Amino acid sequence: MEQLSKYGVTPLDGAKKKSGEKFNLMEKVFLGLSVDQYIAQVLRNKFNWILAAILAVGVPFILYRFLFGLGAVTHSSNDYPWGLFLGFGLFCMVPLSASGFMLGTTCELFGRHDFEPIERLALLNGLLGYFFAVVYLLVDLGQPWRLAYPMVYAWGPAAVLFLVGWHVATYLSVQVAEVSVAFFEWIGWPHAKAFIRKGVVGLTVSGIILSTLHQGALGALFTYAPGKVHPLWYSAEFQWIHFFTSSIFGGLCMVICVSTIVMMTMSWRCDDRFKEALPDLTIKLGKGAAMALITYLVIKLIAVAHDNEWVYLATGWGAWYIFELLAGVVAPLVILSYGIRNKQVWIVRIGAFGAVIFGILLNRLNTALIAFNWKLYQEIPHISEIIIAITIFAIYVGTYRFILNRLPILYQWNEEPAKAEETVAVPASPEQGQEEIPARA
């Protein structure tokens, strides 16, 4: 669409054509282009070739895992019961998906309608993040067709994993309902949209309860293994609140990161309302993230003092812990504060990327993998495990792009007919000549 926009072609953003006729489903899927034109656009995009290459390599590894078991693609053992599938896919994806319940609460309960241009993006980020965290979990567990047994037939209410499983499942259902409003607009089901909107407050409250509980419950999982996690990354009394508070700035910073990437790569899909509001909203999200970072840092230091773990700071593990705090908390906090004070949007975005990469990813990988079994040995992930983890993440990115290209997430859906059409010459593909197509002005 970037190429077509040079010829005056605008993306499909409404329900009707100039003639008053409604777009059919296939026309909506292909963004109002013909099949040949759409395929040409797909082939022109170099990023699609990168995704295709990753899938061509990675999908056979995923099939190999389900055919020959987890041991064929990982180094899993009784000492290291989980690897990247949980260490990255679950423990990292979930806190970065906390944006859904926070922006939903901000708009629907607190009445901050100025955040509405970015609310749906935050909800979609939450939905896809949780969904693919479940995908990583199913790849790790295997036999997804037996998922109903631990969830329904053989309950384990005393287990934290049972609590996490049900919280994630129910919250995922809530997020599907919240994002479905955009889907119902796009597909043309106004009554279904009205039905969901009637219960939006209840959905938002449910999201707050479920997300708060399971973000903390993920941290509580590590209380099962108090001797395995290094003391600097483990605190029986504070473990759950470490995970909860870090998810707050993680979710807010993730929205900043995603919106930045969207503006750089998909600006044609963003309407003026989104573009004009984004700089100010980025500053506001940065303020919330900065306050959450301060809270998280204070709680981390209180936990070290409470458990009297100061002596570990003088060791090699202590140096790594200090690096995590400096790179993942203090540095992003300073950068965000400077950007907020001086109204520098790009500075705020740099701070947000730092908080996501070093603050969340490094902390979760340290807790779940690097500082796990610190008294034994360090497990290096199997190359097949790395390939599968990258492949699933590529599917996540591809799904994200597919939805953003179509559903009214970054733009407002127009129920009125499109503006006047004119014929322009557009190349259908790099090898073909000019093709006359109608362009919506």
Q: What is the pLDDT of residues 52-63, one digit of tens each?
A: 999 999 999 999
- pLDDT band of residue 263 (cuts 50, 70, 90) is very high
Burial of 107 (0-12, 13-18, 19+ CB in 10 A): buried
pLDDT of residue 150: 77
Residues of the chain with pLDDT > 90, as a percent, come to 44
pTM over 0.85: yes
User: What is the Cα–Cα distance from 397 to 192, expressed in whole angstroms?
Assistant: 28
Longest dimension (CA), the chain: 75
Cβ–Cβ < 8 Å for 421, 21: no
Cβ–Cβ < 8 Å for 414, 13: yes
Please check the confidence at residue 7 and state whether its pLDDT lies above 50.
Answer: no
Please check the confidence at residue 384 and state whether its pLDDT lies above 90.
Answer: yes
pLDDT of residue 424: 45
Span 322-345, pLDDT tens digits: 999 999 999 999 999 999 999 999
User: What is the Cα–Cα distance from 84 to 388, expressed in whole angstroms?
Assistant: 9
| 92 Cα distance to chain centroid | 10
User: What is the Cα–Cα distance from 148 to 229, expressed in whole angstroms?
Assistant: 31
Q: Say which CATH class 69-417 falls into.
A: mainly alpha
More confident residue, 429 or 149: 149
Token digits of residue 172: 């995922």
Cβ–Cβ < 8 Å for 207, 104: yes
pLDDT of residue 262: 94
Span 45-87, pLDDT tens digits: 899 999 999 999 999 999 999 999 888 899 888 878 888 898 8
User: What is the Cα–Cα distance from 257 to 208, expressed in whole angstroms?
Assistant: 22
